[in-house]
Amino acid sequence: MFAGAYMALCYVFIFLPVGVLVLFSFQAGDLPVPPFHGPSLRWYEAAFQDGRLVDAFTNSLLVGVISSAVSVFIGFLAAYGLARYDFWGKDVVRALIMLPLAVSYLLVGMGLLVSTSALGFGPSLITVIIGHVVINMPLAFAICLAQLGEHQRRIESAARDLGANTARVLFSITAPMIAPALIAAFCLCFTLSWDEFLIAFLNTRFDVTLPVVIWSLLRGGLNPETNAAGSFIFLVSVSLVLIVEFFLLRRRRA
């Protein structure tokens, strides 16, 4: 009884803010505060007609897809190299690849801003993409590495035995074999990129991503349109996390 109440309290604490955000995105009135009138899709309509939000949505999508694809590609190759070859300093290399996970986003963002400025090309979506690859590649690497066990190694050996070269093995055997993990890694990287604020904020100027534009909308005061945009971001993230769980759980059962 007590445990149940405690659990309920925890969940309320975690989900109440999200619930309130989503609830007032359906507000019919002008302010996202009680009392609740509606429901109405008025503010969703407004959000989808707001040029800044739509542009930012496209930018976020672009940054998310490209940075996740690059992260998974590099992470997969790095994981394959570390799982299949022995070389001097292997542990150091592994540690170096994982290191960005421990570095704060603020440092990554600032470092990137300083370096790109010094190199003469200023803030842009490309810089943000680079930043997101830096923070997400270690994750993709770790997910891929966990899948490349001895069983997979023997299957790769079998492919070599039948005449396949390394490129063939990588793209006809290894990648399809761990496809669920690659898809899961991609979705996870995308969710993290999708609502990443600090790096995107520090490294964009005119073309901005969704979290950055929402931040600037919030500076102009509370508005149910912001709730609508926020709820939409949340919906995308949740869907992707569900996809990840589907692939990783199915993997475990198989």
Partner 1 sequence: MNHLVVDRVTKLYGDAAALRDVSLSVAAHDYVVLLGPSGSGKTTLLSVIGGFTEPTSGRIEIAGADVTAIGPAKRPTTTVFQDYALFPHMSVEKNIGFGLKLRRVPKQARAERVARALDMVGLAAFGRRGIHELSGGQRQRVALARALILEPEILLLDEPLGALDLNLRRQMQDELLALQRRTGRCFVHVTHDQEEAMALASLIVVMNQGRVEDAGPPARVYARPATRFTATFMGESTEIAGEILSPGVAATKIGHLPAPKSLQAGATILIIRPENISADGTRDVKLGAARITEAVFQGAHYRVLAQSESGQDFVLRVPPSTAPAPGDTLTLSCGAEDLVAV
Residues that bind partner 1 (CB under 8 A): 151, 154-155, 157-165, 168, 173, 176-177, 179, 254
Closest approach of partner 1 to the CB of residue 71, in Å: 23
Q: Which is nearer to partner 1, 160 or 205 (CB)?
A: 160
Q: Residue 9 or 158: which CB sits closer to partner 1? A: 158
CB 215 within 8 Å of CB 197: yes
Show the CA angle centred on residue 137, arms to residues 131 and 140, nearest 5°: 145
Calpha distance 44→5 (Å, rounded): 35
Burial degree of 123 (CB within 10 A; 0-12, 13-18, 19+): buried
Nearer to partner 1, 120 or 150 (CB): 150
Closest distance between partner 1 and the C-beta of residue 139, in Å? 24
Round to whole Å and give the CA distance between 95 and 100: 10
Q: Measure the CA–CA gap between 63 and 134, rounded to whole angstroms.
A: 13
Of 159 and 240, the one with the shorter C-beta distance to partner 1 is: 159
Q: How far is the CB of 249 from partner 1 (least distance, A)?
A: 17
The Cα-based distances of 73 to 25, 50, 232 in angstroms read 37, 35, 28
Smallest gap from Cβ 250 to partner 1, in A, equals 12
